Amino acid sequence: MKKIGFIHAIIIGFILYSCQTVNVIPIDYLVPADISFPSQIKRVAIVNNVSEPLGRIHTETDSILLDKTNGFFERYRVNGDPRITTESLAEAVAAENYFNEVVVCDSALQVSGATQKEATLNKKDVNELIKTLDVDMLIALEEIQIIVQKQVYPMGEMGFLGNTDAKVYPKVNLYIPNRHSPLVMINGSDSIFWEGLANSVSNARTKVISDEQLINEASDFAGTIPTKYMTPHWNTVNRYYFANGSSEMRDAAFFIQSNNWDKAFTLWERAYETQKGKKKARIASNISLYYEMKDDLEKAEEWGKEAIKLIKVANNITEDSVLSEAHLSGDLGYIYYNQVDLSKRKESFAKLKMQMDRFNDDF
Protein backbone atom coordinates (compact mmCIF):
# COMPACT_ATOMS: atom_id res chain seq x y z
CA MET A 1 0.00 0.00 0.00
CA LYS A 2 1.39 3.40 -0.88
CA LYS A 3 1.96 6.18 1.60
CA ILE A 4 2.58 9.89 1.01
CA GLY A 5 5.83 11.02 2.59
CA PHE A 6 6.11 13.97 4.98
CA ILE A 7 7.72 16.37 2.54
CA HIS A 8 5.52 15.31 -0.35
CA ALA A 9 2.36 15.86 1.71
CA ILE A 10 3.45 19.35 2.70
CA ILE A 11 4.15 20.24 -0.90
CA ILE A 12 0.82 18.95 -2.17
CA GLY A 13 -0.97 21.01 0.45
CA PHE A 14 0.98 24.10 -0.49
CA ILE A 15 0.21 23.63 -4.19
CA LEU A 16 -3.48 23.96 -3.42
CA TYR A 17 -2.69 27.27 -1.76
CA SER A 18 -0.31 28.61 -4.38
CA CYS A 19 -1.02 26.83 -7.64
CA GLN A 20 -0.67 30.05 -9.61
CA THR A 21 3.11 30.06 -8.90
CA VAL A 22 4.12 26.40 -8.90
CA ASN A 23 3.19 23.82 -11.52
CA VAL A 24 3.55 20.08 -11.28
CA ILE A 25 4.57 17.74 -14.08
CA PRO A 26 4.88 13.93 -13.92
CA ILE A 27 8.08 12.42 -15.28
CA ASP A 28 8.98 8.79 -15.98
CA TYR A 29 12.40 7.27 -15.55
CA LEU A 30 13.89 3.79 -15.36
CA VAL A 31 14.74 2.36 -11.95
CA PRO A 32 17.29 -0.47 -11.70
CA ALA A 33 16.21 -3.90 -10.54
CA ASP A 34 17.37 -5.18 -7.16
CA ILE A 35 19.08 -8.10 -8.91
CA SER A 36 21.65 -7.75 -11.70
CA PHE A 37 22.17 -10.50 -14.27
CA PRO A 38 25.02 -11.05 -16.72
CA SER A 39 24.11 -10.14 -20.28
CA GLN A 40 24.46 -13.81 -21.28
CA ILE A 41 21.14 -14.58 -19.59
CA LYS A 42 18.80 -13.86 -22.48
CA ARG A 43 16.20 -16.64 -22.44
CA VAL A 44 14.31 -17.42 -19.24
CA ALA A 45 11.54 -19.84 -18.29
CA ILE A 46 8.81 -19.14 -15.75
CA VAL A 47 7.88 -22.44 -14.08
CA ASN A 48 5.33 -23.55 -11.52
CA ASN A 49 7.09 -25.40 -8.70
CA VAL A 50 4.37 -24.99 -6.06
CA SER A 51 3.61 -28.18 -4.15
CA GLU A 52 1.09 -26.92 -1.57
CA PRO A 53 -2.61 -27.48 -2.41
CA LEU A 54 -4.88 -24.62 -3.37
CA GLY A 55 -7.27 -23.29 -0.70
CA ARG A 56 -7.49 -22.33 2.95
CA ILE A 57 -4.69 -23.77 5.06
CA HIS A 58 -4.85 -21.98 8.39
CA THR A 59 -7.20 -19.74 10.37
CA GLU A 60 -5.29 -16.82 11.83
CA THR A 61 -8.18 -15.63 13.99
CA ASP A 62 -11.51 -17.35 14.52
CA SER A 63 -14.44 -15.75 12.72
CA ILE A 64 -16.24 -13.28 14.95
CA LEU A 65 -19.85 -12.70 14.01
CA LEU A 66 -21.01 -9.76 16.08
CA ASP A 67 -24.40 -8.10 16.36
CA LYS A 68 -25.74 -5.60 13.83
CA THR A 69 -24.13 -2.73 15.72
CA ASN A 70 -20.58 -4.10 15.70
CA GLY A 71 -20.45 -5.87 12.35
CA PHE A 72 -18.03 -8.70 11.57
CA PHE A 73 -14.34 -9.55 11.55
CA GLU A 74 -12.47 -12.52 10.12
CA ARG A 75 -8.83 -13.24 9.33
CA TYR A 76 -7.46 -16.34 7.63
CA ARG A 77 -4.69 -17.64 5.35
CA VAL A 78 -5.11 -19.31 1.96
CA ASN A 79 -2.83 -20.67 -0.74
CA GLY A 80 -3.22 -18.90 -4.06
CA ASP A 81 -3.65 -20.48 -7.47
CA PRO A 82 -0.12 -21.18 -8.77
CA ARG A 83 -1.25 -21.60 -12.39
CA ILE A 84 -2.71 -18.10 -12.42
CA THR A 85 0.31 -16.60 -10.66
CA THR A 86 2.78 -18.34 -12.98
CA GLU A 87 1.00 -17.03 -16.08
CA SER A 88 0.74 -13.53 -14.57
CA LEU A 89 4.45 -13.58 -13.66
CA ALA A 90 5.39 -14.62 -17.19
CA GLU A 91 3.28 -11.83 -18.68
CA ALA A 92 4.77 -9.25 -16.31
CA VAL A 93 8.37 -10.30 -17.03
CA ALA A 94 7.74 -10.41 -20.79
CA ALA A 95 6.13 -6.96 -20.72
CA GLU A 96 9.36 -5.41 -19.44
CA ASN A 97 11.18 -6.51 -22.65
CA TYR A 98 14.37 -7.09 -20.69
CA PHE A 99 15.03 -10.70 -21.69
CA ASN A 100 15.05 -11.82 -25.32
CA GLU A 101 12.45 -14.52 -24.72
CA VAL A 102 10.22 -15.65 -21.88
CA VAL A 103 8.92 -19.24 -21.84
CA VAL A 104 6.11 -20.24 -19.47
CA CYS A 105 5.43 -23.68 -17.98
CA ASP A 106 2.45 -23.31 -15.66
CA SER A 107 1.86 -27.03 -15.05
CA ALA A 108 3.20 -28.18 -11.69
CA LEU A 109 6.65 -29.69 -12.06
CA GLN A 110 7.21 -33.35 -11.26
CA VAL A 111 10.69 -33.14 -9.79
CA SER A 112 12.72 -36.16 -8.75
CA GLY A 113 12.70 -37.00 -5.06
CA ALA A 114 10.73 -33.90 -4.00
CA THR A 115 8.23 -33.99 -1.18
CA GLN A 116 5.44 -31.54 -0.47
CA LYS A 117 7.69 -29.63 1.94
CA GLU A 118 10.75 -29.81 -0.35
CA ALA A 119 9.94 -27.47 -3.20
CA THR A 120 13.46 -26.22 -3.98
CA LEU A 121 14.78 -27.67 -7.24
CA ASN A 122 18.03 -29.62 -7.09
CA LYS A 123 20.97 -29.31 -9.47
CA LYS A 124 19.91 -32.26 -11.62
CA ASP A 125 16.34 -31.02 -12.04
CA VAL A 126 17.54 -27.51 -12.90
CA ASN A 127 19.99 -28.72 -15.54
CA GLU A 128 17.39 -31.00 -17.14
CA LEU A 129 14.70 -28.31 -17.21
CA ILE A 130 17.05 -25.67 -18.61
CA LYS A 131 18.16 -28.07 -21.34
CA THR A 132 14.58 -29.18 -22.15
CA LEU A 133 13.18 -25.65 -22.24
CA ASP A 134 16.30 -24.28 -24.01
CA VAL A 135 16.74 -21.34 -21.63
CA ASP A 136 19.54 -19.74 -19.63
CA MET A 137 17.70 -19.37 -16.31
CA LEU A 138 14.63 -20.69 -14.49
CA ILE A 139 12.31 -18.34 -12.60
CA ALA A 140 10.36 -20.72 -10.37
CA LEU A 141 7.27 -19.86 -8.39
CA GLU A 142 7.70 -21.82 -5.15
CA GLU A 143 4.84 -20.58 -3.00
CA ILE A 144 1.89 -18.19 -3.10
CA GLN A 145 0.19 -17.36 0.20
CA ILE A 146 -2.58 -14.87 0.87
CA ILE A 147 -3.59 -13.50 4.26
CA VAL A 148 -7.19 -12.34 4.08
CA GLN A 149 -8.85 -9.95 6.48
CA LYS A 150 -12.58 -9.29 6.16
CA GLN A 151 -14.40 -6.60 8.10
CA VAL A 152 -17.96 -5.33 8.04
CA TYR A 153 -18.86 -1.91 9.43
CA PRO A 154 -22.41 -0.66 10.10
CA MET A 155 -23.10 2.52 8.10
CA GLY A 156 -26.50 3.50 9.49
CA GLU A 157 -29.16 3.94 6.85
CA MET A 158 -26.61 3.19 4.13
CA GLY A 159 -26.39 -0.43 5.28
CA PHE A 160 -23.08 -2.20 5.89
CA LEU A 161 -19.65 -1.53 4.42
CA GLY A 162 -17.74 -4.69 3.57
CA ASN A 163 -13.94 -4.35 3.39
CA THR A 164 -11.70 -7.20 2.29
CA ASP A 165 -7.93 -6.78 2.40
CA ALA A 166 -5.55 -9.40 1.00
CA LYS A 167 -1.82 -9.37 1.76
CA VAL A 168 -0.11 -11.39 -0.97
CA TYR A 169 3.21 -13.22 -0.51
CA PRO A 170 4.70 -14.84 -3.63
CA LYS A 171 7.99 -16.70 -3.20
CA VAL A 172 10.19 -17.02 -6.30
CA ASN A 173 13.58 -18.71 -6.72
CA LEU A 174 15.98 -18.10 -9.61
CA TYR A 175 18.07 -21.02 -10.88
CA ILE A 176 20.98 -21.23 -13.29
CA PRO A 177 22.81 -24.39 -14.43
CA ASN A 178 25.31 -26.33 -12.31
CA ARG A 179 24.45 -24.81 -8.95
CA HIS A 180 23.37 -26.76 -5.88
CA SER A 181 21.12 -23.95 -4.63
CA PRO A 182 19.05 -21.10 -6.08
CA LEU A 183 20.96 -18.12 -7.42
CA VAL A 184 18.53 -15.75 -5.68
CA MET A 185 15.46 -16.15 -3.48
CA ILE A 186 12.76 -13.49 -3.78
CA ASN A 187 10.16 -13.11 -1.04
CA GLY A 188 7.85 -10.40 -2.33
CA SER A 189 4.78 -8.89 -0.72
CA ASP A 190 2.07 -6.36 -1.47
CA SER A 191 -1.61 -5.87 -0.72
CA ILE A 192 -4.85 -5.48 -2.63
CA PHE A 193 -8.31 -4.64 -1.28
CA TRP A 194 -11.99 -4.53 -2.22
CA GLU A 195 -14.91 -2.77 -0.57
CA GLY A 196 -18.60 -2.19 -1.16
CA LEU A 197 -21.96 -1.54 0.50
CA ALA A 198 -24.61 -4.18 1.19
CA ASN A 199 -27.94 -4.35 3.01
CA SER A 200 -26.86 -6.95 5.60
CA VAL A 201 -23.79 -8.22 7.41
CA SER A 202 -23.88 -11.55 5.56
CA ASN A 203 -24.12 -9.86 2.14
CA ALA A 204 -21.30 -7.48 3.03
CA ARG A 205 -19.19 -10.54 3.90
CA THR A 206 -19.86 -12.49 0.72
CA LYS A 207 -21.06 -10.10 -2.00
CA VAL A 208 -18.15 -7.62 -2.01
CA ILE A 209 -15.98 -10.40 -3.39
CA SER A 210 -16.41 -14.17 -3.28
CA ASP A 211 -13.63 -16.44 -1.97
CA GLU A 212 -13.10 -17.89 -5.45
CA GLN A 213 -12.84 -14.47 -7.09
CA LEU A 214 -10.55 -13.23 -4.31
CA ILE A 215 -8.13 -16.11 -4.84
CA ASN A 216 -8.17 -15.61 -8.62
CA GLU A 217 -7.59 -11.84 -8.48
CA ALA A 218 -5.03 -11.99 -5.67
CA SER A 219 -3.16 -14.78 -7.47
CA ASP A 220 -3.07 -12.73 -10.67
CA PHE A 221 -1.85 -9.69 -8.72
CA ALA A 222 0.84 -11.81 -7.05
CA GLY A 223 2.50 -12.46 -10.40
CA THR A 224 3.24 -8.76 -10.86
CA ILE A 225 5.05 -8.37 -7.53
CA PRO A 226 8.44 -10.10 -8.13
CA THR A 227 9.09 -8.34 -11.45
CA LYS A 228 10.58 -5.19 -9.95
CA TYR A 229 13.24 -7.30 -8.22
CA MET A 230 14.37 -8.85 -11.54
CA THR A 231 14.03 -6.22 -14.28
CA PRO A 232 14.52 -2.45 -14.54
CA HIS A 233 11.13 -0.79 -14.43
CA TRP A 234 9.57 2.61 -14.98
CA ASN A 235 8.88 4.91 -12.06
CA THR A 236 6.54 7.91 -12.28
CA VAL A 237 7.15 10.85 -9.95
CA ASN A 238 6.08 14.47 -9.77
CA ARG A 239 8.43 17.37 -10.40
CA TYR A 240 7.65 20.98 -9.52
CA TYR A 241 8.60 24.07 -11.49
CA PHE A 242 8.01 27.77 -10.99
CA ALA A 243 5.86 29.57 -13.54
CA ASN A 244 5.59 33.18 -12.30
CA GLY A 245 7.88 36.00 -11.34
CA SER A 246 8.71 37.47 -14.75
CA SER A 247 7.54 37.44 -18.35
CA GLU A 248 10.25 34.92 -19.20
CA MET A 249 8.97 32.53 -16.51
CA ARG A 250 5.40 32.77 -17.76
CA ASP A 251 6.44 32.26 -21.38
CA ALA A 252 8.66 29.34 -20.40
CA ALA A 253 5.71 27.68 -18.65
CA PHE A 254 3.75 27.93 -21.91
CA PHE A 255 6.57 26.20 -23.81
CA ILE A 256 6.69 23.39 -21.23
CA GLN A 257 2.99 22.75 -21.82
CA SER A 258 3.93 22.36 -25.49
CA ASN A 259 6.82 20.05 -24.48
CA ASN A 260 9.35 22.50 -25.89
CA TRP A 261 11.94 22.33 -23.13
CA ASP A 262 14.74 23.93 -25.17
CA LYS A 263 12.84 27.18 -25.64
CA ALA A 264 11.89 27.19 -21.97
CA PHE A 265 15.54 26.70 -21.04
CA THR A 266 16.61 29.65 -23.21
CA LEU A 267 14.16 31.90 -21.36
CA TRP A 268 15.25 30.60 -17.95
CA GLU A 269 18.92 31.21 -18.80
CA ARG A 270 18.13 34.80 -19.77
CA ALA A 271 16.07 35.40 -16.64
CA TYR A 272 18.70 33.85 -14.36
CA GLU A 273 21.22 36.54 -15.30
CA THR A 274 18.91 39.37 -14.27
CA GLN A 275 17.09 38.07 -11.18
CA LYS A 276 18.15 37.91 -7.53
CA GLY A 277 17.20 36.20 -4.30
CA LYS A 278 14.19 33.85 -4.31
CA LYS A 279 13.44 34.46 -7.98
CA LYS A 280 16.97 33.44 -8.93
CA ALA A 281 16.64 30.29 -6.79
CA ARG A 282 13.37 29.34 -8.49
CA ILE A 283 14.94 29.71 -11.92
CA ALA A 284 17.94 27.61 -10.87
CA SER A 285 15.53 24.88 -9.78
CA ASN A 286 13.76 25.06 -13.15
CA ILE A 287 17.09 24.75 -14.96
CA SER A 288 17.88 21.70 -12.83
CA LEU A 289 14.63 20.14 -14.04
CA TYR A 290 15.56 20.94 -17.65
CA TYR A 291 18.83 19.03 -17.37
CA GLU A 292 17.07 16.11 -15.68
CA MET A 293 14.62 15.95 -18.59
CA LYS A 294 17.67 15.77 -20.86
CA ASP A 295 19.11 12.95 -18.69
CA ASP A 296 22.14 15.06 -17.78
CA LEU A 297 21.94 14.20 -14.10
CA GLU A 298 25.31 15.73 -13.21
CA LYS A 299 24.26 19.21 -14.35
CA ALA A 300 20.79 18.70 -12.92
CA GLU A 301 22.29 18.05 -9.50
CA GLU A 302 24.66 21.02 -9.80
CA TRP A 303 21.79 23.40 -10.55
CA GLY A 304 19.65 21.84 -7.84
CA LYS A 305 22.33 22.43 -5.22
CA GLU A 306 22.68 26.01 -6.46
CA ALA A 307 18.91 26.49 -6.12
CA ILE A 308 18.93 25.23 -2.52
CA LYS A 309 21.92 27.43 -1.68
CA LEU A 310 20.23 30.52 -3.13
CA ILE A 311 16.88 29.93 -1.43
CA LYS A 312 18.56 29.33 1.94
CA VAL A 313 20.42 32.63 1.64
CA ALA A 314 17.20 34.40 0.64
CA ASN A 315 15.42 32.92 3.68
CA ASN A 316 18.32 33.55 6.06
CA ILE A 317 18.81 29.82 6.70
CA THR A 318 22.34 28.76 7.56
CA GLU A 319 23.89 25.71 5.90
CA ASP A 320 23.83 23.62 9.09
CA SER A 321 20.24 24.51 10.06
CA VAL A 322 17.76 21.67 10.47
CA LEU A 323 14.95 22.22 8.01
CA SER A 324 11.61 22.66 9.75
CA GLU A 325 8.04 22.16 8.53
CA ALA A 326 7.78 25.94 8.13
CA HIS A 327 10.84 25.97 5.85
CA LEU A 328 9.47 23.16 3.68
CA SER A 329 6.05 24.76 3.24
CA GLY A 330 7.48 27.41 0.92
CA ASP A 331 9.72 27.55 -2.14
CA LEU A 332 12.42 25.54 -0.39
CA GLY A 333 9.96 22.64 -0.02
CA TYR A 334 9.42 22.33 -3.76
CA ILE A 335 13.10 22.71 -4.56
CA TYR A 336 14.16 20.33 -1.81
CA TYR A 337 11.67 17.64 -2.83
CA ASN A 338 12.89 17.73 -6.45
CA GLN A 339 16.50 17.37 -5.35
CA VAL A 340 15.94 14.56 -2.84
CA ASP A 341 14.37 12.37 -5.52
CA LEU A 342 16.90 13.45 -8.14
CA SER A 343 19.75 12.42 -5.82
CA LYS A 344 18.19 8.97 -5.38
CA ARG A 345 17.88 8.64 -9.14
CA LYS A 346 21.48 9.72 -9.69
CA GLU A 347 22.82 7.29 -7.07
CA SER A 348 21.12 4.36 -8.83
CA PHE A 349 22.10 5.40 -12.35
CA ALA A 350 25.42 3.48 -12.42
CA LYS A 351 23.61 0.28 -11.47
CA LEU A 352 20.93 0.93 -14.09
CA LYS A 353 23.56 1.55 -16.76
CA MET A 354 25.26 -1.76 -15.94
CA GLN A 355 21.94 -3.62 -16.14
CA MET A 356 21.10 -2.00 -19.47
CA ASP A 357 24.47 -2.70 -21.11
CA ARG A 358 22.82 -5.53 -23.04
CA PHE A 359 20.97 -2.83 -25.03
CA ASN A 360 24.15 -0.90 -25.89
CA ASP A 361 23.04 2.08 -23.73
CA ASP A 362 19.87 2.49 -25.80
CA PHE A 363 17.49 3.33 -22.95
User: How confident is the prediction along the chain (363 residues), in pLDDT tens digits per residue?
Assistant: 433 343 444 444 444 434 448 999 999 999 999 999 988 999 999 999 998 777 666 555 545 544 445 667 888 899 999 999 999 999 999 999 999 999 998 777 755 444 444 568 999 999 999 999 999 999 999 999 999 988 888 888 888 888 899 999 999 999 999 998 999 999 999 999 999 888 887 787 777 888 899 999 999 999 999 999 999 999 999 999 999 888 999 999 999 999 999 999 999 999 999 999 999 999 999 999 999 999 999 999 999 999 989 988 888 877 666 566 556 677 788 898 999 999 999 999 989 999 998 887 665
Report DSSP state, residue 150.
E
> pTM for this one?
0.77
Specify which residues 233 forms β-bridges with: 31
Residues 195 and 319 in one domain: no
Of 176, 204, 233, the last residue of a domain is: 233
Three-state DSSP class for 166?
A: strand
Report which residue type is found at 141.
L
Domain at 115, CATH number: 3.30.160
Three-state DSSP class for 335?
A: helix
Count of structural domains, the chain: 2
Residues 67 and 159 in one domain: yes
Rounded to whole angstroms, the Cα distance separating 86 from 50 reads: 10
Neighbours of 131 (CB within 10 A): 10
DSSP result, 51-79: -SPSEEEEEEEEEEE--TTT-EEEEEEEE
Residues 49 and 190 in one domain: yes
Could you tell me the residue range of the domain that residue 155 belongs to?
Answer: 43-233
Rounded to whole angstroms, the Cα distance separating 320 from 311 reads: 14
Residues 180 and 55 in one domain: yes
The reported pLDDT for the residue numbered 256 is: 94
DSSP result, 247-294: HHHHHHHHHHHTT-HHHHHHHHHHHHTT--HHHHHHHHHHHHHHHHHT
Of 203, 233, 263, the last residue of a domain is: 233
Residues 198 and 298 in one domain: no
Neighbours of 278 (CB within 10 A): 18
What lies within 8 Å, CB to CB, of 356 at 6+ separation is 30, 232, 363
In a domain, 212, yes or no: yes
Residues 270 and 350 in one domain: yes
Three-state DSSP class for 120?
A: coil
Residues 290 and 149 in one domain: no
Residues 145 and 79 in one domain: yes
Provide the angle, in degrees to the nearest 10, between the axes of the packed helices 277-293 and 297-314.
170
Residues 217 and 301 in one domain: no
Residues 83 and 156 in one domain: yes
Of 233, 267, 285, the last residue of a domain is: 233
The reported pLDDT for the residue numbered 53 is: 77
Residues 227 and 246 in one domain: no
The reported pLDDT for the residue numbered 57 is: 61
In a domain, 1, yes or no: no
The reported pLDDT for the residue numbered 111 is: 52
Specify which residues 98 forms β-bridges with: none
